[in-house]
Amino acid sequence: MKLTEWTMQEQEELIHFMTENSWPYHGIPHPARKMIEKAIDDGGYESDEVKTFWVETDDREKVGIVKLYDMQDEIPMFDLRIAERARGRGFGPRALRLICDYVFSLPDKKIRLEGHTRQDNAAMRKTFERAGFVKEGHLRKSWYSPKEDSYYDAVTYGITREDFESGKTTPVEWNDREIAAAADNHGRPPGFPEEFHSERLLIRAPRVEDAADVYDALTYSHPELKEWLPFAKDKPTLEGVEDSLRGAVADFITRKDLRLHLYRREDGAFIGSSGLHRINWNVPKFEIGYWIDTRYTGLGYMTEAVERITQFAAETLGARRIEIRCDTENRKSRAIPEKLGYELEGILKSDDVAADGSLRDTCVYAKLK
């Protein structure tokens, strides 16, 4: 996929694109031809302040358009529109990452990029999140819809140059007035990002609404997972997954355990779960656990996720020790810490019980700071 700069010679194609598609979450869902013509004549698509690009697939199919404006400012904004026929195919997040690539490569060093959408525009909000943007504002009754003669809430998302270049996602700390110390009485950091990303993955805190994704992955992968994971011994139920997620959300809030869900940035597919467990904030030390939906094995996703989580634990949480434990017979799981430079510190004999009741040995890998 790529961005191709729109030219004045493509006016008819632009007019067709804007008038033949419906834009239900914009102020005018069905713009008329004269409106687009006037906008073009007034410099609304090309000027010192505005640049417009086609969103094209590798086969040169035009699936969207993006307009960047306030280009003379240090903080430009954008309007991204995907054609109706192309929606739901993962083009939005990929296009938005291309927009970031373009904006942050400009010679005048833009500080940040931001965009706005209606609060109920779930697809666009997911696009923002999968591209590494952070929700920074919620404006009540500020989005007017002429068609319905009604006001909606609006939300603002942004990404900073620092987050984009480092691959991190730094959420706004909404309770900043209550955070006066560097740590609480248990030595736990009071606030840190609940989501971040690697090259291909969005890594974030669990949510109860993830239940369907997790249930589907566990159900499909049950034959393989039950051999290695005690919690996968029995077939999952949706109710059981929901209960587990409620506990995981609570544990994340209290910093008792940091479960992390893994989503593919390209299309938002849930690929598995990882996290930082058996936490001792006084050291601090953590244990990384992980499992993957078997439909996504062999693609390097879990190695990528564990590498990024290791970095997060060391750089953001100040980890002095990070462990990975796995069955000695689980060669695929052992390959991950070995590839990432973890040291095998020892093997615990008869340390765990397998699904068939047999005793298993456990490898203990670690990285120290």
Burial call 326-339: b when 16+ CB within 10 Å, e when fewer: bbeeeeebbebbee
Using a pLDDT cut of 70, give the percent of the chain over it: 95
| Tokens 């995907």 belong to residue | 82
Tokens of 227: 């051999």
Average pLDDT over residues 190-199: 84
Question: Which distant-in-sequence residues (6+ apart) come within 8 Å of 41 by Cβ?
Answer: none
Q: How confident is the model at residue 286 (pLDDT cuts 50, 70, 90)?
A: very high
177-368 matches 2-166 in CATH topology:
yes
Domain ranges of the chain: 2-166, 177-368
Residue 13 buriedness (CB in 10 A; 0-12 / 13-18 / 19+): middle
Backbone angles phi, psi at 123, to 5 degrees: -65, -45
Q: For the segment 345-367, what is each residue's pLDDT rounded down to a tens digit?
A: 999 999 988 777 789 999 999 99
Q: What is the pTM of this model?
A: 0.56
Which ranges constitute the DSSP H helices of the chain?
11-20, 33-41, 91-103, 122-130, 161-166, 211-225, 238-254, 301-315, 331-339
Question: DSSP per residue over 185-231, as a string?
Answer: TTS--S---SEEE-SSEEEE---GGGHHHHHHHHHHHHHHHTTT-GG
- What is the average pLDDT value for the chain, to the nearest integer? 90
**pLDDT surpassing 50 at residue 183:** no
**What SS3 state is found at 81?**
strand
Q: Hey, which of 28-37, 118-127, 270-279 has the most confident mean pLDDT? A: 270-279
pLDDT at residue 356, rounded to an integer = 76
Q: How confident is the model at residue 324 (pLDDT cuts 50, 70, 90)?
A: very high
Domain 2-166 has CATH 3.40.630.30: yes
Q: For the segment 16-57, what is each residue's pLDDT rounded down to a tens digit?
A: 999 999 999 887 889 999 999 999 999 999 999 999 999 999
Q: How confident is the model at residue 190 (pLDDT cuts 50, 70, 90)?
A: low
d(CA 240, CA 43) in angstroms, rounded, equals: 56
d(CA 196, CA 168) in angstroms, rounded, equals: 5
Question: Could you tell me which residue, 208 or 298, shows the higher pLDDT?
Answer: 298
Average pLDDT over residues 291-316: 96
- Beta-bridge partner residues of 367: 322
Tokens of 313: 């634990």
CATH class of 177-368: alpha beta
**What SS3 state is found at 315?**
helix
- Beta-bridge partner residues of 258: 276
- Its sign, for the CA torsion 308, 311, 316, 322, is positive
CA dihedral 252, 277, 316, 246 (to 10 degrees): -10
Tokens of 231: 């919690």
d(CA 223, CA 233) in angstroms, rounded, equals: 9
Q: For the segment 161-181, what is each residue's pLDDT rounded down to a tens digit?
A: 999 988 878 877 675 554 444
pLDDT at residue 180, rounded to an integer = 40
